C-alpha cells in the first residue's frame, strides 16, 4: 500500500534509508547495496527526491553523496512516517538500521552514536562512540560485523558513563568535539546529547 501511495518501491526504500539515518550521507553504490535495488531505478528516484528538495547532494573525493535535507518543509511528518522503526511491514527487505538492535548485546549502552566517516565530519577522529558498561568480547564482534557491512575500518571509542559526564563537566576537547560534530544518535538513554536550553 505504501508503494502505491508513493508510486515506487525504490522511493519508499530510499525514504526509509534516509529518514532512519539523519545526518548520514550515502553514495549511489552504497545505497543500491543497502536497499537491494537496481542502480538505474535508484538514480532515477534520487533525482526525483533531489528535485523536490527532500534530499541534498554534495561532492566529496569525486563521489556524489546524498543525505536527507532536514530543512525541508515536510521533514518532520516524513520523518514520523519513514524514520527508524516505522513502516516495517511495507518493505521487508529495507532494514535501515539493524545495528541499533545489535547494540543490546553489548551490555548497558547509555549512549551510542555515529560520526566521522558515517556523517562525513572528522572533528572527533572517531566513527562510533559508545558510553556505558560494554562487554569487550561482544564489542569486538559488533565492530567486526559493522566493518564487514560497511566495507571499511571503523574507529571507535568506549567510555563509562561517569567518565563521559566528568569529561563533559571539565570541557574535555574530545567531548566538546562530539557535541560540535555532525552525529547520528543510535541510543541516548539520558538525553546526554540533547542541546542545553
**pLDDT tens digits along 175-186:** 999 999 999 888
Q: SS3 string of the chain?
A: CHHHHHCCHHHHHHHHHHHHCCCCCEEHHHHHHHHCCCHHHHHHHHHHHHHHCCEEEEEECCEEEEEECCCCCCHHHHHHHHCCCCCCCCCCCCCCCHHHHHHHHHEEEEEEEECECCCCECCCCCCEEEEEEECHHHHHHHHHHHHHHHCCCCCEEEECHHHHHHHHHCCCHHHHHHHHCCCEEEEECCCCCCCCC
| Confidence tier at 92 by pLDDT (50, 70, 90) | very low
**CA 178 to CA 197: how far, in whole Å?**
18
Q: What are 33-46's pLDDT values in tens digits?
A: 999 999 999 999 99
Q: What is the pLDDT of residue 174?
A: 95
Architecture of domain 100-188: 2-Layer Sandwich (3.30)
- The three three-digit cell numbers of residue 188, written as one number: 541516548
Q: Is the pLDDT of residue 93 over 70?
A: no
The third-level CATH classification (topology) of the domain covering 2-88 is: Arc Repressor Mutant, subunit A (1.10.10)
| Confidence tier at 56 by pLDDT (50, 70, 90) | very high
Pick 5 or 98 by higher pLDDT: 5
Q: How far is CA 63 from CA 44, 82, 163, in A?
A: 17, 26, 38
Long-range contacts formed by 135-139: CB under 8 A, 24+ apart? 135/105, 135/106, 135/107, 138/105, 138/106, 138/107, 139/106
Question: How much is the average pLDDT of 42-70?
Answer: 90
| Confidence tier at 90 by pLDDT (50, 70, 90) | very low
Q: Is the pLDDT of residue 51 over 80?
A: yes
pTM of the shown model: 0.66
Share of the chain above pLDDT 70, in %: 87
**CA 45 to CA 136: how far, in whole Å?**
41
Where do the structural domains in the chain lie, given as residue ranges?
2-88, 100-188
Query: If you average pLDDT over every residue of the chain, what do you get?
Result: 85
Is 2-88's fold the same as 100-188's?
Answer: no
Amino acid at each position: 500500500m505504501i508503494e502505491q501511495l508513493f508510486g515506487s518501491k525504490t522511493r519508499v526504500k530510499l525514504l526509509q534509508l534516509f529518514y532512519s539515518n539523519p545526518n548520514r550521507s550515502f553514495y549511489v553504490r552504497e545505497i543500491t547495496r543497502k536497499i537491494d535495488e537496481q542502480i538505474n531505478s535508484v538514480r532515477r528516484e534520487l533525482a526525483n527526491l533531489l528535485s523536490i528538495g527532500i534530499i541534498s547532494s554534495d561532492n566529496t573525493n569525486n563521489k556524489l553523496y546524498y543525505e536527507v535535507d532536514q530543512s525541508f518543509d515536510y521533514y518532520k511528518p516524513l520523518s514520523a512516517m519513514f524514520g527508524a522503526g516505522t513502516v516495517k511491514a511495507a518493505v521487508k527487505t529495507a532494514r535501515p538500521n539493524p545495528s541499533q538492535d545489535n547494540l543490546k548485546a553489548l551490555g548497558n549502552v547509555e549512549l551510542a552514536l555515529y560520526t566521522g566517516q558515517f556523517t562525513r565530519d572528522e572533528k572527533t577522529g572517531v566513527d562510533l562512540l559508545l558510553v556505558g558498561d560494554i562487554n569487550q568480547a561482544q564489542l569486538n564482534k559488533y565492530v567486526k560485523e559493522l566493518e564487514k557491512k560497511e566495507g571499511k575500518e571503523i574507529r571507535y571509542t568506549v567510555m563509562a558513563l561517569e567518565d563521559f559526564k566528568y569529561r563533559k563537566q571539565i570541557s574535555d576537547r574530545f567531548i566538546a568535539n562530539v557535541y560540535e560534530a555532525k552525529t547520528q544518535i543510535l541510543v541516548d538513554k539520558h538525553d546526554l546529547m540533547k542541546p542545553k536550553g
